[in-house]
């Protein structure tokens, strides 16, 4: 029997006429990293808010670390950590004060707080900055402090809402390595949200692609991507796009074809991009689609999103 750190069924959250989460099921085995990937407004933060007991679901139920988020909210809270998308850090406090206050909130003793603060400052490499006011921190330092704050209670399950939003590549890679270490060395379960495909691909063993409050696809990143085809030939042009797409679909080596609305692109998934390129381009020009540009690549999670929603992940 799998031990699920997060087990949610049929979650719905409505705000008046807006349905932020629309029937979401989520099962995250303990000790794994799961990423919710989706565009702005998909319902990622709302899902995190429900799972962390900050919001009550309109329908459905969820257990986190073995406890019901509705009936045993207080127990859930003692087992989890959260890092928020919006910065909630008090600018006038030092990093050390932020961590210490958080520890007091959870009734950790003084010795334990001091030990955790020392460990975490080391983990997220805050060093001397720990005794400076947050006001003077860079974006990367704030993110690292926010992560350390989420870890003060040594949680079993850590929720991270857009952990690297707005960070430069170097800081992002730094955060990724802390998260991997927490998962590997402490067996911590991580649920993160992101709209960066590379982040989901890099960190998560399972990805849930979310759009308009629903999971549109779920699985291991490699499996989701390779289900589309080995390579994707992206053909940009003008003319008989639908006709070309239909003809491409009939070619024996083509696994899938997407021709999203509001785009000049036709995505042709094939068994081998380099071998099939000439034939695909030939099929385009032979069917009234004037080719302007062609690229060959491995499919990405962005292609998976587009395949399931008909829209690009980047909006």
Ligand X SMILES: Nc1ncnc2c1ncn2[C@@H]1O[C@H](COP(=O)(O)OP(=O)(O)OP(=O)(O)O)[C@@H](O)[C@H]1O
User: Binders of Mg ion: how many residues, by CB under 5 A?
Assistant: 3
Site pattern 69..88 for Mg ion (x: CB under 5 A): ----------------x---
Q: Which residues pair with 35 in a beta bridge?
A: 192, 207
Of 32, 45, 259, 300, the one binding ligand X by CB under 6 A: 45
Stretch that binds ligand X, among 38-46, 104-112, 214-222, 304-312 (CB under 6 A): 38-46
Rule CB under 6 A: say whether 208 interacts with ligand X. Answer: no
Label residue 68 exposed, middle or buried (CB < 10 Å: 0-12, 13-18, 19+): middle
**Pairing outcome for strands 33-37 and 59-64:** unpaired
β strands within 200-303, DSSP E: 206-211, 214-219, 231-239, 254-258, 265-270, 289-297
Radius of gyration of the CA atoms of the chain, in A: 23
Q: Which does 139 bind (CB under 5 to 8 A by kind): ligand X, Mg ion, none?
A: none
Label residue 165 exposed, middle or buried (CB < 10 Å: 0-12, 13-18, 19+): middle
The least distance separating ligand X from the CB of residue 151, rounded to whole angstroms, comes to 22
Phi-psi domain of 46 (left: phi exceeds 0; alpha: psi -120 through 50; beta: other)? alpha
* Alpha carbons within 13 A on the beta-carbon side of 39: 13
Stretch that binds ligand X, among 13-21, 178-186, 232-240, 297-305 (CB under 6 A): 13-21
Of 4, 26, 42, 45, the one binding Mg ion by CB under 5 A: 45
Site pattern 68..87 for ligand X (x: CB under 6 A): -----------------x--
Site pattern 156..195 for ligand X (x: CB under 6 A): ---------------------------------------x
CA distance 264 to 286: 17
List of residues contacting Mg ion (CB under 5 A)? 44-45, 85
List of residues contacting ligand X (CB under 6 A)? 15, 18, 20, 38, 40-46, 85, 195
């Amino acid at each position: 029997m799998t031990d699920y750190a997060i087990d949610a069924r049929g979650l719905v959250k409505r705000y008046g006429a807006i349905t932020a989460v629309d029937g979401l099921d989520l099962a995250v085995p303990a000790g794994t990293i799961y990423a919710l990937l989706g565009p702005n407004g998909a319902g990622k933060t709302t899902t995190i808010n429900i799972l962390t007991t900050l919001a009550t679901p309109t329908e459905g139920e969820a257990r986190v670390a073995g406890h019901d988020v509705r009936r045993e909210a207080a127990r859930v809270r003692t087992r989890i950590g959260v890092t928020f998308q919006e910065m909630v850090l008090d600018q006038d406090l030092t990093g050390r004060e932020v961590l210490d206050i958080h520890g007091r909130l959870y009734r950790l003793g003084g010795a334990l707080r001091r030990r955790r603060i020392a460990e975490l400052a080391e983990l997220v490499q805050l060093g001397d900055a720990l005794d400076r006011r947050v006001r003077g921190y860079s974006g990367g330092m704030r993110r690292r402090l926010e992560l350390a704050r989420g870890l003060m209670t040594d949680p079993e399950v850590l929720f991270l809402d857009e952990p690297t939003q707005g960070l430069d590549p170097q800081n992002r890679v730094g955060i990724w390595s802390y998260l991997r270490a927490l998962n590997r060395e402490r067996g911590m379960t991580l649920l993160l949200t992101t709209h960066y495909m590379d982040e989901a691909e890099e960190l998560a063993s399972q990805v849930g692609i979310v759009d308009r409050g629903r999971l549109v696809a779920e699985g291991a990143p490699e499996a989701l991507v390779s289900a589309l085809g080995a390579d994707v030939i992206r053909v940009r042009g003008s003319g008989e796009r639908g006709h070309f797409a239909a003809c491409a679909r009939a070619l024996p080596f083509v696994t899938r074809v997407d021709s999203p609305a509001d785009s000049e692109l036709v995505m042709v998934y094939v068994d081998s991009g380099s071998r099939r390129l000439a034939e695909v381009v030939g099929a385009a020009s032979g069917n009234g689609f004037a080719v302007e540009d062609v690229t060959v690549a491995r499919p990405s999670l962005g292609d998976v999103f587009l395949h399931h929603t008909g829209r690009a992940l980047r909006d």
